Structure 1
Amino acid sequence: MEELTAKQRRVYVFIRDTIAARQTPPTRAEIAEALGFASANAAQAHLRTLENKGFIELNARRSRGIRLVTPDDASDEPFTQSSAGALSLAVVGRVAAGAPILALEHVERRCRVSADLFSARPDYLLRVTGDSMIGAGILDGDLLAVRTAPEVRPGDIAVFRWDDEVTVKRFARDGQTARLIAENPRYEDIVIDTTRETLSLEGLAVGVIRNL
């Protein structure tokens, strides 16, 4: 990939950090305001440059239609060859019921990605199946960067194991009741009485990338 200028890198880092913090990309207006551009059109010009250089993918039909793109090729790091280095992460596909998420049979391959893509270091990449989280910018086939963690807070998007299945949802809690919220109105929330049912946290979402 081509190297980015300082200004282009600022735009890319802002997009990356916004996705890591909110699990959704910023709008053009938010980019312009945060980085001091004169208008959303100025931000759009930088986005088109980043798209032409292969760092992002744009969807003009959505106000938050910005996708991070990362290659499998270890020689291509997001900014320059002197950037912070690469992580070798397992890409986990469909998880069999009851089996550990990182069991060998679930790992499709390993993927080299730059550590600079994430504000928190992920432990693995989970291939997303289905469209229940499209409102959060997580699409079918995306790779969700997941960091193992001991607890989840309300509002976090995370990977859970419930009823022997692994699912990606936004978390909410009301006393002993946990609610796994889909980001697609076609899907109902999953409501779990934690006094009678087991809900396990497999990890927190720390970013989303489009696999090449």
Structure 2
Amino acid sequence: MRAQQHNLGHRSVVARQANSKTPDTLRVTARQLELLRVIRRWALEFDRMPSVRELGDILERSPSTIHQHLAALERRGYLERRGHAHGLKLLVDDQSLGLDQAGAAVLLPVKGSIQPGRALRRSRPPYKRIAVGGEVRPEDYVLRVEGGRLEAEGIFDGDMLLVRPGTLGDQPAVLLFLDGTADVKRLLTLRDGSLAMLPVGPRVDRRRARRCPEGVVVQGRVVRLIRSYR
């Protein structure tokens, strides 16, 4: 899988893991480095090592592929495997993994999916998590896009939205309406302080903005689009 992240405000594209060049001290492939980093991030967040199944869910790889990478890393002396599900032990430090650099990948929860015009589908904990690079905050989370209703805006089925709780004008946001449906719209702050909404496309005429309906709830700002290429 090859993933890119798009800043919806400026349409810029950054690599999945900013500042994530393979450290000179490690002789690993890019996928093996990603695996090592995910293991370390998981251990820091949950105070235990991930299982092969959990690693496969995060990296979207089969258990057999994860086993192959772990075996290769063990042969090179970068980790040890013990005889139980959470029996990994890393033998490299954060500096060697590049995790002391700003922008190293963080595991964020996928809290559900959104299909414009339908109810927001919320996942139940424990959430699946994905590795996200660049500037992220502890409160950030991810929603997966379903269907093709946003294709005209450059957002496609299977894309993932990095959502940050809070409201900020002139930025895409996830909106919840009184009828229970959800949508992604660009918000504008009007002179009277109220909010109006537009399609999220970058070249939309602002004169098309219409005031947000009564009772609309801003679920959070969409600060990045994450797209996977298989």
Using structure 2 for the length normalisation, give the TM-score: 0.46
Using structure 1 for the length normalisation, give the TM-score: 0.49
Tell me which structure has the larger Cα radius of gyration: 2
